Amino acid sequence: MKLNIRTLILGTIIPALLSTLSLKSEELSEKILNGLLNSSLYERPFVSEFHSSISKVELGYNKSYAEYNLNSETEKFDRPMIELHLGFEAPLFSYDIFDDKNKKSWSIGATLPISVHVLEDIFEPVTAAVINTDFRFGSPRIKAIKYLNDEGFLKNISFSWIPMFHECTHLGDEIIIYRKDVDFPITRINVSYEYTEFHLTLNDVADSKKNEHTLRFGLLYRLSDRGYGYFDIQKQAIDIDTVTYVKHSEFRFECFAAYQYQRTEGFLASERFRNILSAEFRSRVRYAYPIYKMDKGVWQPTEVKEGYIGNINLYFGWKFYAKSDNQSLGFYFHYFRGLNPYGQLRNYAGYNFFGLSLTYEP
């Protein structure tokens, strides 16, 4: 009897298991290879997402309390500005998991987001200066979505996680030259740090062509802690009397809540011409370094204490889809109020922007 069982195990069961495992391994390998470089439509950036990878060209009026202005007749920006958002999310992997009824149950994927944001004073009468440039890049975005009831209000729950992302910002040459010419106390603040970011989305629009309400919640956490936390100041780029006003950052978190409504039915809306309302409310860190105003020929500092400031970013308009749902052109009205969104100028609160935005989403 023992010989029969041993013969059964060695001669039948083990070969069958090895054959099955080999077959499943081959199927899994084939599915993984087929998923490479495939696009995934879920967990894509909202139009209103701060510093997203959506490409935008925006023209509008803003109000900046920065000290820079080559036109000496005015003290503040009082002319239209150009905002350029250049970015993309390269598809790395996408894989769908089906249930027993051959219905999509889960999807998992990864993308690589990269973005550059430029503030340009194109109507400045002397040089049409580039004011500030921000860069963001890092590890892939890992994401997944769980599909629920197609007929209910909550159709899915999804999330995405960027393990490590890098942000660095750079002033334009004109501001550096200007600051040196007028003996501005701080020549340059080097905003450069790494962070991790997590998103949770309810009712992601994914590939839906219907009216959809989508909610998203996000959390950012600063990983690095060099210099003053989020930033550093080169010794040769700071007035010695300013050092006492600069404090190390004690805040590491930023959070946001966002809502986006896609309308494909009704007045001025269709599956290919979709009406979009997108709003994001974000709590952002204001750094602890001073701002300056000229008073009787002397730069007078105003101390700034580190803390959170609320921001609202609002878009309303339409996006036009080609025959493929993988790319679209959009036209929006854009309103922003809060902390200046550009790294080198972000300590200026009460920053307003209102203008027109042309977007492209691949």
pLDDT digits (tens, 9 = 90+) for 272-331: 999 999 999 999 999 998 888 778 888 888 889 999 999 999 999 999 988 766 789 999
Q: Say yes or no: 69 and 31 in one domain.
A: no
Domain that holds residue 19: 1-35
Instruction: Report the alpha-carbon distance of residue 107 to residue 53 in Å, rounded.
Output: 21
Q: Is the pLDDT higher at 268 or at 292? A: 268
For 67: left if phi > 0, alpha if psi spans -120 to 50, otherwise beta; the answer is alpha
Q: Is the pLDDT higher at 8 or at 154? A: 154
User: Predicted confidence band at 79 (pLDDT cuts at 50, 70, 90)?
Assistant: confident
Residue 233 has what pLDDT?
85
Query: Which CATH number fits the domain that encloses residue 346?
Result: 2.40.230
Q: Say yes or no: 194 and 310 in one domain.
A: yes
Q: Give per-residue pLDDT as tens, 102-128.
A: 888 899 999 999 999 998 888 877 777
Res 183 pLDDT > 90: no
Res 154 pLDDT > 60: yes
Please tell me the total count of domains within the chain.
2
Residue 294 has what pLDDT?
78
Q: Say yes or no: 189 and 90 in one domain.
A: yes
What percentage of the chain carries pLDDT values higher than 90?
48
Contacts (Cβ under 8 Å, ≥6 apart) of 277: 259, 260, 261, 263, 315, 316
Q: Say yes or no: 16 and 97 in one domain.
A: no
Q: Give per-residue pLDDT as tens, 228-240.
A: 999 988 776 777 7
User: Predicted confidence band at 265 (pLDDT cuts at 50, 70, 90)?
Assistant: very high
Residue 214 has what pLDDT?
97
Nearest to 113 by CA among 20, 51, 67: 51
Q: Say yes or no: 28 and 140 in one domain.
A: no
Res 19 pLDDT > 80: no
Q: Say yes or no: 312 and 226 in one domain.
A: yes
Nearest to 190 by CA among 121, 236, 141: 236
Q: Say yes or no: 54 and 71 in one domain.
A: yes
Provide the pairing of β-strand 141-147 with 328-338: unpaired
Residue 234 has what pLDDT?
76
Residue 324 has what pLDDT?
64
Contacts (Cβ under 8 Å, ≥6 apart) of 89: 44, 45, 53, 111, 112, 113, 114, 141
Residue 244, CA distances (Å) to 179, 227, 240 in order: 20, 15, 8
Q: Say yes or no: 152 and 63 in one domain.
A: yes
Contact 87, 116 (CB under 8 A): yes
Residue 269 has what pLDDT?
94
Q: Say yes or no: 193 and 253 in one domain.
A: yes
Contact 357, 332 (CB under 8 A): yes
Q: Give per-residue pLDDT as tens, 317-357.
A: 999 988 766 789 999 999 999 998 887 788 888 888 999 99
Res 360 pLDDT > 80: yes
Res 147 pLDDT > 90: yes
Between the ranges 17-26, 71-80, 111-120, where is the mean pLDDT highest? 111-120
Dihedral pair phi/psi, residue 344, rounded to 5°: -75, -15
Q: Say yes or no: 218 and 200 in one domain.
A: yes
